[in-house]
Amino acid sequence: MAAFTYFYKIRIDVTKSSSGEELLSKWHEEAQAALGAIDAGIIQIWKDAADAVVYVIATFEGATAVEAHGTALATFGTLPMFQSGHIIIEEARSVLDYREWAAYLANRNS
């Protein structure tokens, strides 16, 4: 199986919570799951300090890019904030390590 890396811009729909306390409680639950994945080296997550936005870089395996992306979407579907309707995937891009691009360029001229 090949590995495919994706960049996701995820907006948290704050209107799905009835209060700020409910939102932060739900987000805390989500953060605990995310920290486990970060510590396992599965994903990188960055929180926009000024907005309800999170940036995720994650690698998924699949026979094709479509299969890997499907696995990613299925994984997002297991998250507490996704299940409560808080998660909006605003952007999804297939990305690659810049070293791969540099190696391609170097080999192209060989």
Contacts of 76 (CB under 8 A, 6+ apart): 82, 87, 89
Map out the domains of the chain as residue ranges: 2-108
Question: 50-108 pLDDT, tens per residue?
Answer: 999 999 999 999 999 999 999 999 999 999 999 999 999 999 999 999 999 999 999 99
pTM of the model: 0.87
Q: Is the pLDDT of residue 40 over 90?
A: no
Q: Report pLDDT for 3.
A: 93
Q: Tokens 């499907």 label which residue?
A: 70
* Distance between CA atoms of residues 27 and 70, nearest Å: 24
Q: Is the pLDDT of residue 31 over 80?
A: yes
- Here the tokens at position 100 are 């791969």
- Kindly report the number of other CB atoms within 10 A of residue 64's CB atom: 11
Instruction: With a cut of 80, say whether residue 27 has pLDDT above it.
Output: yes
pLDDT of residue 110: 76
Spatial separation of the C-alpha atoms in residues 97 and 110, rounded to whole Å: 21
Fold of 2-108: Alpha-Beta Plaits (3.30.70)
